[in-house]
Homo-oligomer: A and B are copies of this chain.
Amino acid sequence: MIHFECDYACGAHPAVMQALMMSNEEQHCGYSEDECCENARQLIRQLCQSPDAAVHFVVGGTQANLLVIKAGLRSFEGVLCADTGHINVHETGAVEATGHKVLPLPPVDGKINAQQVREAVMLQREDASHEHIVRPAMVYISHPTEIGTLYTREELTALSDTCHELGLSLFVDGARLGYGLAADEQVDLPFLASVSDAFYIGGTKCGLLFGEAIVITNPAIARDFRYHIKQRGAMLAKGRLFGVQFEAMLKDNLYVEASRKANRQAQQIKQAFMDKGYSLFCDTVANQIFIVLPNEAIAALKEKYVITYWGKVDEQHAAVRLVTSVCTRDEDVAALLSDIAAL
């Protein structure tokens, strides 16, 4: 079977594996306090043009999400997000398990906007019973979103301005950030660092074996962050592995270039479906595509490919998701394109 259902089906980008092999016998102190991590942190601060940012590494996205949210909220505060947001739907209540309510908003194109945030905040503040209502204190968005769309520079600026005017923080889940950076150069690392209070540079879905680099520009969230990491079981003993992998992937723009190739592969596949007359469930520009297919076409593809069933459209049709990644092989794409043409 050939996997197009997610961006974590393979191992790591060859450059990452090579760096891990070459450094395997080195000795370092543990818990990400080593030289490799320090180098990666410096590189990330440079790429973000944020010399004072705190940079922390954790293994996965749910850890990154629950840590930043926990560190950024007081106990009776909650986090606003799209009702389709990963923290609201696909993390088994990880945020609630830290004691905090997720406050869902209805998204448009997978995105929430500044006006929604303002309304939600004012609704709580102006209520005579405001002390009986969870106080919104952070906004969580994903870039790219759960359905592969991208926030524009203007949308992010508006969200950021509104959050900061109202005293909220803005947190950007960048699990698939590489694909976003490659798809829209306007929203680059320095911009993200400037508009958000915290965001992360996804590694797991963008060429690493595992790892997310959390970049925190708001000192109130960054304070004592390593205590939070340890308390939640998220401090890796051989922390060096983060530094080695991120340095390999981030230097020489490999992170963005490898993502760009994956985006191209995904767009080729999208075009192939469109050429056959199939319609899009929603349009995207990065590494995820969403197509409406007849049930028989889905069944045919599933004989050879693993793809994600996204939802029923009507009795004869359903939406499916296909995803490429930094590790997707051209021959697998070629095979798929040929099979689409033959549907």
Chain A interfacial positions (CB closer than 8 Å to B): 1-3, 5-6, 8-12, 14, 17, 20-21, 23-31, 59-63, 65-67, 70-71, 74-76, 78, 89-94, 96-102, 128-129, 131-135, 204-205, 209-210, 224, 226-228, 230-238, 240-241, 306, 309, 327, 329
Contacts and interface: CB of A to CB of B under 8 A. Distances in A.
A92 B231 contact: yes
Contacts of A2: 27
Contacts of A3: 27-29
26 contacts: A1-B27, A3-B29, A5-B29, A8-B238, A9-B28, A11-B25, A14-B24, A20-B20, A60-B235, A66-B233, A70-B75, A76-B92, A76-B224, A76-B230, A90-B129, A92-B131, A93-B100, A93-B231, A94-B231, A96-B100, A97-B98, A131-B227, A131-B230, A204-B237, A209-B241, A210-B241
B232 A233 contact: yes
A29 B306 contact: yes
Given A101-B93, A238-B210, A27 B8 contact: no
Contact of A94 (B29, B71, B232): B232
Given A27-B10, A133-B90, A238 B209 contact: yes
A173 to B, nearest CB: 13
Contacts of A209: 20, 238, 241
Contacts of A27: 1-3, 9-10
A226 B92 CA distance: 10
A209 B1 CA distance: 28
A91 B71 CA distance: 17
Nearest to A329: B25
B59 A59 contact: yes
A329 B61 CA distance: 35
Nearest to A229: B131
